[in-house]
Each structure stands twice: as structure tokens, then as C-alpha cells.
Amino acid sequence: AAVLPVNALFAGDLEKNERLLHDLDDPTKSPGPGPSPLGKRSGFEKPVRKPSDISSRTPLQDLHSTITPADLHFERHHAGIPTIDPSKHELLIHGLVNRPMKFSLADLKRFPAITRTCFIECAGNFRTGKEEMTPQDVLGLTSQSEWTGVMLSTLFNEVGIDAKAQWFLAEGSDAAVMTRTIPLSKAWDDAMIVYAQNGEAIRPEQGYPIRLLLPGFEGNMNIKWLRRIELSEAPYMTREETSKYTYPVKDKIRMFSFEMDARSIITFPSYPQKVSKGYVEIRGIAWSGRGKVEKVEVSTDNGKTWQLANLQEPVLSKAHTYFRYLWNWNGNETEILSRVTDETGYLQPTLQQLVEARGPNIGGYHMNPITAWKVKADGSVWFKPEKYTDK
Amino acid sequence: AAVLPVNALFAGDLEKNERLLHDLDDPTKSPGPGPSPLGKRSGFEKPVRKPSDISSRTPLQDLHSTITPADLHFERHHAGIPTIDPSKHELLIHGLVNRPMKFSLADLKRFPAITRTCFIECAGNFRTGKEEMTPQDVLGLTSQSEWTGVMLSTLFNEVGIDAKAQWFLAEGSDAAVMTRTIPLSKAWDDAMIVYAQNGEAIRPEQGYPIRLLLPGFEGNMNIKWLRRIELSEAPYMTREETSKYTYPVKDKIRMFSFEMDARSIITFPSYPQKVSKGYVEIRGIAWSGRGKVEKVEVSTDNGKTWQLANLQEPVLSKAHTYFRYLWNWNGNETEILSRVTDETGYLQPTLQQLVEARGPNIGGYHMNPITAWKVKADGSVWFKPEKYTDK
Amino acid sequence: SLTDTAKKAVKFGFGRTATPKEIASWDIDVRPDGKGLPAGKGDVKTGRIIYTTKCAVCHGANGTETPGVKLPGAALVGDTLAKARPKTIGNYWPYATTLFDYIRRSMPYNLPGSLTDNEVYGLTAYLLNANKIIKADVVLDAQNLPQIVMPARKLFIMDDRKGAPEIK
Amino acid sequence: SLTDTAKKAVKFGFGRTATPKEIASWDIDVRPDGKGLPAGKGDVKTGRIIYTTKCAVCHGANGTETPGVKLPGAALVGDTLAKARPKTIGNYWPYATTLFDYIRRSMPYNLPGSLTDNEVYGLTAYLLNANKIIKADVVLDAQNLPQIVMPARKLFIMDDRKGAPEIK
Ligand code: HEC
Ligand code: HEC
Ligand SMILES: [Ca+2]
Ligand SMILES: [Ca+2]
Ligand SMILES: [Ca+2]
Ligand SMILES: [Ca+2]
Ligand SMILES: [Ca+2]
Ligand SMILES: [Ca+2]
Ligand SMILES: [Co+2]
Ligand SMILES: [Co+2]
């Protein structure tokens, strides 16, 4: 039986010839291409991460909600992205356990699964220094995903944990063989071994095929390409928890600061956007490593007064939370700021408060100051860089 | 000053020469490539939609959570995907309004925004017929996204709606100039004009740059590439709401069935997966166009008895909801099924109940029967196709 | 969760008034009561000629199903008898205005929007006649098209389900 | 939301026992108390030679910051004086075992995991001596390495924040 091609399939061929007869600017006048195995972005949209040699930053100002598209998730690598064959990858759990065990990826997927939406943020997330900075420049080392995997407690139950164990070492299979020590309590609380990100397999940059997920803890501790966990009485004092991810606090150096402190940033309006007089919906994200966002306040008068912003529901624990505040701008130059309070009652501090609390040698880790955008009378928006004494 | 290349950037070059000296299978022995502007999937993972000439289907069995990655969102086009320049696209609202208005995409983004996570499902979503069918084959015309945009009620307030208006026509700017009539009440309830999907610009297949979002309503009504809305006293009886998306119910033909009826499907285990004796976590998704999923029950004994499944939180209204049930399989041949009850008390029907309610000429729209998977003693899993009298 | 920051009383002032010309150029819909039908007319004979030139390649010489041939377009002509297969204009379309509206906006598939209003009237006349709904000498226009009572009209009902537990 | 379908009492039986050989081949970590240090030894002199061959290209001839040159690797040698810049082994590393552990697992950057245990002892000795922490004649091994008290040790404190409203 003769079969003529149908619909969109043949539309492609027809299009080439017929389109010439039509107004090229009117999409209603000629059929477009049909379905495909995998979609692509519109050619008019080109969101990108900003890569340096060791990291790349999420374009926060381009995102309208809180799940980061996987290909825009920030990166921080210490020896690049390993190529791992998932059929060969195994996770070893040993040390202070009743039975040291190895789990294949297939084994891990058979255990009861759970999905958790939370942010992962680099503990060094915060840059300042000039007015020409976008939210991506200032705070782009944070992203959010739907993570799916097995509760670490389920695996620890399977191997049996020795009563003497207090900590566990997690080790990656990248060329840095990255290690961090984590308190055992986190495993009984909410730690997971995850194999899926936004529904599909974790992306290579995020730890394919498995990573440790420690909701709310420093990004670096969420070991990627995880291959080994060792239960121990004491922390290992690895390079990443001593020489790195520690910071001067007056005359001491603080280490093992796990939770990411609550913070917020206005992503619209921000540099280099422009606004017009009248209604401007101020938008941004807020989050806390210690639980839910309780409230976000916005100031449109240089921090003199603060107004409650709307929080996008559902508000999840340890998760980027979108906030919005409707501002009726009178056209005068001003500064706009946001500050978050989390469910523990912690209010995001000013830079001045942080410097006062930690002293003049304050480092680049766990810096979560309130930040401001300057709105000029011409509607242009600029980052307000505030000096602090790190050098 | 001489600057030597750093870290991952130069790792690429080094790798070529040095890798030969190392065990190629051990990713800890050589640095990998560094950060990039846009991530890619692991070469070991190739999830794909299944395209026909007019649609493509989401690989439900490959997804571990409920946000569908944008490039795997199902498609259904009537004249292919138009190419639309977002800077030229406008939305016209006219008819029974106080002031007919045009809104540019930039205008729309200035209005107060909201994000809603919900499914969009084709009203014709359901295939049966043979044992060798995957969840993608059976129910792949449903997907879920985080949608962001403006409430239609906000725009209707801006144009001012005439008291005589009862319906509105929504029209696309594709080559089908697709139209559907929607009751005005939906606009006051929860309809939106959305420009973002999973945070970023809507994908071309999903209506770039804007689409109508009618949470819970038939996919076809969520007009893509939206360019015009006309307020009217009466429905327009367009081809898509008369010749299509209608179905015989005994001696009548039912039209304007908006809500997608509650349904569920087990996505694991499913054809062509295999399971082993012992613990098997049964997983799947359930949803309802009328509100929240109240409960999902799973049967592992051919429908004789039913057990409550866990629901993944947060359970959102009109949204795919992941469910899981831990089954201890004794190795005997059986059938596994799921059924959902939504918050209106509606229990997903059997195919037999649907045929009894609608008569022998039942069509392919709004078919939401309970479906079963057969588990053979060898662990193989097969779809259970049930005949019904359409043809 | 659907509470945005808009207060109902507020007018934002974004967007602009649409001009009558802008509206007219996009306002192509046709309602069952005839609202939207343009001036012009067309008869069965001219309709048949246009059909043969512009439609037959996809919908078949007579618009009917051809055994053994899978056409790119659906059958348009069938037994005008309720419940007969395939579902076509004669047995399944409740309103004649829909035919005008649909052809004008989206056919021919490869060149949508290319037909003149007279051509659409003619094609509509031809297809209604082929489906034994109007006589061969009818000249269709904005006045008589909405008057046509389609055989399937009486079968169509608005959704009669009340929601809640009911399976219907 | 973190309630999965696992009941604590259940053992699933997925996975397998790891063999001692499998564990040994991956168990490369070294703890401050010396647990994990392998047999073998190394002195400053041999360490310096290995450093020059395998490390200097990235960390500089002497491991110190070179004005006007941005090295691919961080400075490793500096003023062994608390709070001096740059932060290096002498003024910022609280445990000598970390140096052995880190070098063995991830250096040289381009060929991680390629050093013998003796080489790592040697490099550790060389870098500790260059930072004025051990004498030039020390031969490092599993016994004496954990005994070294690093100058920065006394500065390090575990997180002293209590959470809640406190800004600290
Ligand atoms: C190049 C192929 C092609 C040509 C030429 C074409 N059509 Fe179509 N026609 C289609 C396809 C494909 C569909 C189904 C579209 C869909 O379902 O979205 C269709 C659908 C239709 C329908 C709706 C059928 C139903 O039952 O819903 C009508 C009426 C129709 N065409 C009329 C015409 C007329 C009149 C012409 C000539 C002016 C024409 N077509 C030319 C391909 C074509
Ligand atoms: C090809 C370049 C390269 C070579 C060769 C190299 N390193 Fe490194 N080294 C680096 C880089 C880059 C880092 C920083 C890695 C990071 O931060 O993740 C580093 C970090 C270090 C550190 C940690 C410094 C700190 O303060 O945290 C030590 C110690 C070190 N290297 C020792 C060595 C030794 C010993 C050798 C030789 C066996 C060596 N390196 C060879 C590039 C190199
Ligand atoms: Ca085209
Ligand atoms: Ca490599
Ligand atoms: Ca109209
Ligand atoms: Ca057109
Ligand atoms: Ca060990
Ligand atoms: Ca190694
Ligand atoms: Co980091
Ligand atoms: Co559909």
C-alpha cells in the first residue's frame, strides 16, 4: 500500500520550497519542524555558566524559579571531571562497621529511594569588588536540584555501625581523590547517596554516577564521584578541612563549619538590567543551611525600612526559596537590599557585623553579608561593592 | 610577568601525554576536563523521547523524580514548532474587554510573577495493545515542569473584563493557529501566561516564548506560542473542541471535558526491566487534574488486596506525585497494579468500569484506567494489555 | 501558592492599547452564530476545483478513505450517519462554521493562511455537499453558513460529569 | 519527607562483603594519630631531589611565592609565623599527617597516585624542613611523622558557633 508522508515529517521538505512564497516573519504561514528525541533551547536564548579554571557559576539572574537546569549547575572541581563507567563503579563502606561492604550502582538503586530538593553551595561563595557585577558574579556558586537516592542511614543499617564510630570519611574517585570527614550524626539525620539529579542520572560535573548529599552543608563536603566511606572515631583532618574551608576568627582559625549560613540576593533588578519608574517587582532567592526560610525582608530606601516579601510556595527546608516584593519606584536614586531570617531565628548579617564578629583577617569562606544594588535615576542598576579587610 | 597555565585548564594538555602511562580505567590517576559554559550528560546516559510524526513521549521509566528535564518534555504539535523572535512577539487581549491591549514579552515579565509546578498531559494519553510496552509507550504524553509567569487574572484586571464575558478563546501563532475556548472561571482560578519552564525560557516545543497554562486541564488547551486571547459570551466550537478532544459516551458525544482524571502508573518495575526475589521497591507516579493526590494504593496480588504507598513530599496540587511501596517478592508469578485516589475522593477506575460508564464506542480521550504489569517467575516484567471495544 | 504580589485594585500600566487594525489582522475566528464570518461567497463547483488543486494530494481525490492508502491528511468525507467510521465532517462535526474557521486558519497544511475568503467559502460548500449536508446549488456566505444544522449536532453534549467520586 | 519505605529492622541483602584486598587497595587515608601511614621512610635530601624533578615546575624552585610569576600550584613554603601571608604549610597547616595524605593521593597534579610511599615520606620531610618545622637530618616514617607538632596547630578550633540567632 502506498504511504504518503504525514504532517510535520514532510513539513520540513515542503517548507524549503514554500516558505519563499510566504512572509518569513509570520510563523503562522508555514509548518515548522516536528518532534525530536531531545529538545533544544530556542536559538534566541543562550544562558551560560561563567567558567574559570576551577569553577563555573550559575546565571542566577536568568532563572525564574529554583530548580537549576542541570547544564547550568555551578561547578567546582579540584582535578577536573573524571569519566566513570557506571557499570564498574562501586561504593565501599568500611572501617568501624560490622561488615565491610561494596555496593554497585545497581545495588544502590534497589534500596528504598527518596527525593530531596535542596541547594548545594560552595562555602567560598561570595565575590565583591566592583559595581559591574551580576548576581552570577557575586553569588553564582550555588544551585538547586531535585536529588534522588538512598538515605545513608539505610546503607549504614545494612553494614551495621560500630558503637565507637563518631565520624565518617567520604572519598571521591576523581584525580584529587577528594576527602572530607563528616560527623556520623548527619548520616542519621538527612545524608543521602544520590544517583539522580532533576529526575535523570547525575551530570558528570555533579558527581556521576553517585555523590554524597549533605543538605545544608558546605558544597565541598558533598563528595562527588563517591567511591569510599570509612567509619572512624575521629576526624581525619584532610587538607580540605584544614588548609582549605577554614577561616580566621579573631586570633583563631575556625574549622568544621558545616552549615551554610542563611543568605539572600536580589536577582532582579540587578546589574546590568534597567528599570523604569512605576511598579517594579523585586525578585530574588533566599536560603539557609539550617532549615526553612522564615521570612525575607526587602528595603528600597538604603536599608532604613524593611518590608516583608512574598515567599514562593512550597517553602522547603535547606532550599533556595524565591521571594518577590512589589515596589512602586518614584524614579529617585536609591539602594535596594534583601535580608533573610531562617527558622532558627538567624537574621542575615551586614558585612560590618561579620567583620566585627570575626575580626579584620576575615577570609572568603562562610561570608553571607546583606548585599545592595544601587538604582540610579536613569534606571540603571549597579552592584554596591563593600570593602572588607581580607587580603 | 610570566603566567603558567593553572589546574584543569592545563590538565587537558597534560592528560594526552601522561594518560598513556596510567591505568586508563582508574579515574583517580589523571585529571579530567575542567569547567564549561554548559554541561552535558554522561556519555553512558542517553535518555530520549520517542518521536512519532506528531508527538514524542517522555521516558517515564528513566525518571527518578517529578520535574521533567526540559529536553525530555513530551511534545504534541499540530503543524510543527514555529520559530519565534521573542523581541517581536506580542500577546493581544481583546473582545469583551474595556480596553483591548497588546503586551510584549518584556511587558509580561514586568507583571507580578508566580511559579507553579504542575503536569501537562495530552488528553489522548493512553496506549495499550501488547506486552512489550514501556511506561513511555503506555503513558508518555505527560510531563511536569516548574512554570513561571503572570496570573491571567492580573492581565484580565489590566484590560478590564466586560460583565457579559463567559469564555475566552486562546490562539497560538504556530502554523495551525491552534485555538481552544476556555471558561472564564479558569482565569479567575489559576490560569497563567508562562514564559519560563524549569527556571529558564520555555523551550520551543513547549510554546516559546509564551504559552497558556491551565493547571489540570487537557494539554491541548494549554495553547503554545500564544498570541491572542478574545473574551466572548459563548464558546467558539473550534475544530479541536468538536472534531477532536471529544468522545462517545453511550449515545452522546461528550465535549469540553477539561480536567484530566486522576491516574497512576508503576514505572518500576516495568517492561523490559527484570527483578530478583526479595525486596523490590515498587515506584511510580500519580496525579489528578482536580487537585492533590490523596493516596496511592499498590496491589502485588493481581488486585486482590491493596496497600498504601508512600507519597514523596511535598505533594502539590495538579502535580505528578512520586509514590513508592516496598514489596518483598516471594518469586511467584503475579501482577502488580497501582490506583490513585485524589482529594475529591475520585478513585482511579478499572478499564471495565470506564467501558461500562461510557459504552462500547469509548474513544481514546480521557482514558485513565488502572494498568497492570505481569511479573513472571524469571523476574521479567511485561505490560498487561487489556482489550477494549474502541475500533 | 497562587498569591502573587498584585493587589487587585492596582493597574500596572504595562502594555499598550491595541489598534483596530492590529486586531482586525489577527481576528480570524468564526463562531457558531456566524460572528467573525467575512464578506464573500463560494459555491460547490468552484470549491471542488480548488479542492482538486490544493487539497486532494493529502486528503484524496474525493476526500474519502482509500483502502490500502494512508493519506497524510484525514478523510473528510464519509457516511453521514451517526457513529459511522471514520469520523468525518458528515457524521462528527457539530457546526459548519468550524469548517470555515479551520480551513481558513490552517489549510492547506503546507500553506496555511494562503486561501482567499471566497476560496474558503467554496471549499466549505464543496465539503458540506460531498458529505450530503447541503445541495449542490447552494452558494455559501456569512448569512446562510451559520444556519446549516449539522447531522452530528444533536449528539454533542457539554461535559455532564459532576466531578468528585463519580466514574462517568 | 525524609521517610523512605525502609523499616530500620530490615536488612535488604543488596551489595556484598568487601574483601580485605579490595579495602587495602583503596584505603589510602592517613589520620593525625598516624593510622593509615604505610611502612617506608624518607629524608629531606632525597625529598628535595624528587621535589625538583616532579613538583618545582608548578610550585616553584623553592616552593615559595615568586614575585611576578603566577604559578599553577600554590606556594608551599612561607614564613612559619602565624597569620603571615601566604597561607602555607608552615603557618596554616595544623597536622603534618595531612601533608603525607594529600601528596600521596593527589600530587603531582598531572600524575596523581604515581609516587611511592618512600617518595611521599621524602617530599613530606623536604617540605616540613623548608618550612622550618623539622631539622635537615630527620628521616620521616610512620612513627615520627605523627609526633610533629605543627606551629598552626594551636590556632585551630572546632566550630564554636551555637547556631540560632548568633552572628559569630
Ligand atoms: C500537505 C498536506 C495537506 C494538504 C495539502 C491539505 N491538508 Fe487538510 N489536513 C492535513 C493534515 C495532516 C490534517 C490533520 C491536522 C491535525 O490533525 O492537526 C488535515 C486536516 C484537515 C481537516 C480536519 C479533518 C478532521 O476531521 O479534523 C480539514 C477539514 C482539512 N484538512 C481540509 C483541507 C482542505 C480544505 C485543504 C485544501 C485547501 C487541505 N485540507 C489541504 C494535510 C493536508
Ligand atoms: C602540574 C602542576 C603541579 C605539579 C607538578 C604539582 N602540583 Fe602540587 N598543586 C598543584 C595545584 C594546581 C594545586 C592546588 C589544587 C587544589 O587546590 O585543588 C596543588 C596543591 C598542592 C599542595 C596543597 C597546597 C595547599 O596549601 O593547600 C601541596 C602540598 C602540593 N601541591 C604538593 C605537591 C608536591 C609534593 C608535588 C610533587 C610531587 C606537586 N605538588 C606537584 C599543581 C601541581
Ligand atoms: Ca517554518
Ligand atoms: Ca582524565
Ligand atoms: Ca473574533
Ligand atoms: Ca494563518
Ligand atoms: Ca583508613
Ligand atoms: Ca590516586
Ligand atoms: Co567550594
Ligand atoms: Co493532545
Task: Tell whether ligand 2 has an atom less than 6 A from the beta carbon of residue D72.
Answer: yes
pLDDT for D82 equals 64
Long-range residue pairs from A360-363, CB within 8 A, at least 24 positions apart, any chain:
A360/A389, A361/A248, A361/A389, A361/A390, A361/D83, A362/A247, A362/A248, A362/A249, A362/A388, A362/A389, A362/A390, A363/A246, A363/A247, A363/A248, A363/A390
Q: Average per-residue pLDDT in chain B? A: 93
Question: How far is the C-alpha of B180 from the C-alpha of B186, rounded, in Å?
Answer: 13
Contact criterion met (CB < 8 Å) for C58 and A4: yes
pLDDT for B7 equals 43
pLDDT for C82 equals 64
B-D C-beta contacts closer than 8 Å: 62
pLDDT for A18 equals 47
Which residues lie below 8 Å from residue A166, measured CB to CB, with a gap of 6+?
A183, A184, A232, A233, A234
* Cβ count within 10 A of residue B164: 9
Averaged pLDDT, B325-340:
98
Q: Determine the residue of chain D that is closest to B32 in CA distance.
A: D110
Chain C interface, best mutation among B155, B177, B252, B348, by max C CB count within 10 A: B177
Contact criterion met (CB < 8 Å) for D110 and B4: no
pLDDT, tens only, B122-172: 999 999 999 999 999 999 999 999 999 999 999 999 999 999 999 999 999
| A329 vs B363, residue with greater confidence | A329
| B15 vs B330, residue with greater confidence | B330
Last residue of a domain, one of A195, A216, A235: A235
Distance from CA of B120 to the nearest CA of A (A): 17
**B109 in a structural domain:** yes
Beta strands in A21-141 (DSSP E): 50-51, 55-57, 75-76, 90-95, 101-104, 114-121
Averaged pLDDT, C31-54:
98
Which residues lie below 8 Å from residue A197, measured CB to CB, with a gap of 6+?
A70, A73, A145, A146, A147, A148, A203, A206
Are B142 and B190 within one domain?
A: yes
Among A106-120, A226-240, D153-167, which stretch is predicted with the lowest mean pLDDT?
D153-167
Cα A214 to ligand 2 centre (Å): 27
Q: Where are the alpha helices (DSSP H) in chain B?
A: 7-18, 105-110, 135-139, 152-159, 184-189, 239-242, 351-358
Task: Tell whether ligand 1 has an atom less than 6 A from the beta carbon of residue B292.
Answer: no
Say which DSSP state A259 is in: B
Cα D100 to ligand 2 centre (Å): 12
pLDDT band at A389 (very low <50, low <70, confident <90, very high): low
Are A349 and A293 within one domain?
A: yes
**A249 in a structural domain:** no
Burial class (CB in 10 A: 0-12, 13-18, 19+), A295: middle
Are B212 and B325 within one domain?
A: no
All cell numbers assigned to A29:
504561514
pLDDT for B198 equals 98
**A9 in a structural domain:** no
Q: Which residues pair with A324 in a beta bridge?
A: A283, A310
Tell me which residue in B31, B81, B203 faces A79 most closely, judged by beta carbons: B31
pLDDT for A238 equals 98
Q: Give DSSP secondary structure letters for B91-119.
A: EEEEESBSS-EEEEHHHHHHS--EEEEEE
Helix or strand holding residue A111 (H, E): none
**B245 in a structural domain:** no
Q: Are B265 and B323 in contact (CB under 8 A)?
A: no
Query: What Rg do the C-alpha atoms of chain C give, in angstroms?
Result: 20
Per the structure, the complete domain to which residue A94 belongs is given by 50-235
Cα B76 to ligand 10 centre (Å): 6
Contact criterion met (CB < 8 Å) for B94 and C102: no
pLDDT for C80 equals 79
pLDDT, tens only, C58-113: 999 988 887 888 889 989 998 877 667 788 999 999 999 999 999 999 999 999 99
pLDDT for A76 equals 97
Are A141 and A276 within one domain?
A: no
Q: Determine the residue of chain A that is closest to C58 in CA distance.
A: A4
Task: Tell whether ligand 1 has an atom less than 6 A from the beta carbon of residue B109.
Answer: no
pLDDT band at A48 (very low <50, low <70, confident <90, very high): very high
Are B194 and B272 within one domain?
A: no
pLDDT, tens only, B32-44: 999 999 999 999 9
Which residues lie below 8 Å from residue A132, measured CB to CB, with a gap of 6+?
A271, A272, A382, A383
Q: Are B188 and C8 in contact (CB under 8 A)?
A: no
**A258 in a structural domain:** no
Contact criterion met (CB < 8 Å) for A64 and B196: yes
| Angle ∠(A43,A44,A49) on CA atoms, nearest 5 | 90
Residue D152 phi/psi, 5-degree rounding, is -80, -10
**B21 in a structural domain:** no
Q: Which residue shows C-alpha cell 477532536? A: B244
pLDDT, tens only, B302-317: 999 999 999 999 999 9
Ligand 1 atom nearest the C-alpha of C89 is: 26
- What domain count does chain B have? 2
What is the domain-level CATH number for residue B228?
3.90.420.10
What is the domain-level CATH number for residue B318?
2.60.40.650
Q: Give DSSP secondary structure letters for A128-195.
A: -S-SS--HHHHH-SEEEEEEEEEEHHHHHHHH-B-TT--EEEEEE-STT--EEEEEHHHHHHT-EEEE
pLDDT for B24 equals 58
Q: Which residues pair with A310 in a beta bridge?
A: A324
Burial class (CB in 10 A: 0-12, 13-18, 19+), A119: buried
Which residues, given as ranges, of chain D have pLDDT below 50? 1
All cell numbers assigned to C88:
468525518
In CATH, the number for domain C41-155 is 1.10.760.10
Are B281 and B352 within one domain?
A: yes
User: How far from A357 is each of A124, A332, A351, B182, D166, CA to CA, in Å?
Assistant: 18, 34, 10, 59, 10
| A83 vs A12, residue with greater confidence | A83
Sheet with D16-17, side-by-side order of all strands? A179-183, A167-172, A226-232, A90-95, A101-104, D16-17
Chain D interface, best mutation among A190, A245, A254, A295, by max D CB count within 10 A: A254
Contact criterion met (CB < 8 Å) for A39 and B148: no
Q: Which residues pair with A280 in a beta bridge?
A: A327
What torsion, rounded to 10 degrees, do the Cα atoms A85, A69, A263, A334 define? 150
Give the ligand at the shortest distance from the Cα of B24: 4
In chain A, the percentage of residues whose pLDDT exceeds 70 is 93
Q: How do beta strands A90-95 and A226-232 pair?
A: parallel
Chain A interface, best mutation among C4, C16, C110, C114, by max A CB count within 10 A: C110
Whether the ω angle into residue B33 lies within 30 degrees of 0, i.e. cis, is no
**Contacting residues of D for B283, CB less than 8 Å apart:** none
> Would the pLDDT of A23 be above 60?
no
* CATH domain D37-62+79-155 topology: Cytochrome Bc1 Complex; Chain D, domain 2 (1.10.760)
pLDDT band at B4 (very low <50, low <70, confident <90, very high): very low
Protein residues near ligand 10, an ion, with CB under 5 A: B 76, 122, 219-220
All cell numbers assigned to A233:
572515631
pLDDT, tens only, D7-17: 878 899 999 99
Are A283 and A220 within one domain?
A: no
What torsion, rounded to 10 degrees, do the Cα atoms D126, D128, D132, D133 define? -140
**B153 in a structural domain:** yes
Complex prediction ipTM: 0.94
pLDDT for A374 equals 98
Are B206 and B276 within one domain?
A: no
Query: What Rg do the C-alpha atoms of chain A give, in angstroms?
Result: 24
Averaged pLDDT, B312-327:
98
pLDDT band at C1 (very low <50, low <70, confident <90, very high): very low
Question: How far is the C-alpha of C84 from the C-alpha of C96, rounded, in Å?
Answer: 19
Contact criterion met (CB < 8 Å) for A100 and D17: yes
Are A270 and A208 within one domain?
A: no
Task: List chains touching C (3+ CB pairs under 8 A).
Answer: A, B
Residue B105 phi/psi, 5-degree rounding, is -60, -40
> Would the pLDDT of B12 be above 70?
no
Q: Where are the alpha helices (DSSP H) in C11-148?
A: 20-26, 44-54, 56-59, 89-92, 96-106, 117-130
Task: Tell whether ligand 2 has an atom less than 6 A from the beta carbon of residue A175.
Answer: no
All cell numbers assigned to B40:
552535558
* Cβ count within 10 A of residue A261: 25
Are B108 and B191 within one domain?
A: yes
User: How far from D10 is each of A115, A125, B64, B251, CA to CA, in Å?
Assistant: 21, 41, 23, 55
All cell numbers assigned to D12:
535488604
All cell numbers assigned to B106:
518584556
pLDDT for B389 equals 60
Contact criterion met (CB < 8 Å) for A32 and B65: no
pLDDT band at A146 (very low <50, low <70, confident <90, very high): very high
Question: How far is the C-alpha of A245 from the C-alpha of A7, rounded, in Å?
Answer: 58
User: How far from B376 is each of A161, B270, B383, D99, D108, CA to CA, in Å?
Assistant: 37, 12, 11, 56, 54
The full set of domain ranges for chain D reads 37-62+79-155
Task: Tell whether ligand 2 has an atom less than 6 A from the beta carbon of residue A78.
Answer: yes
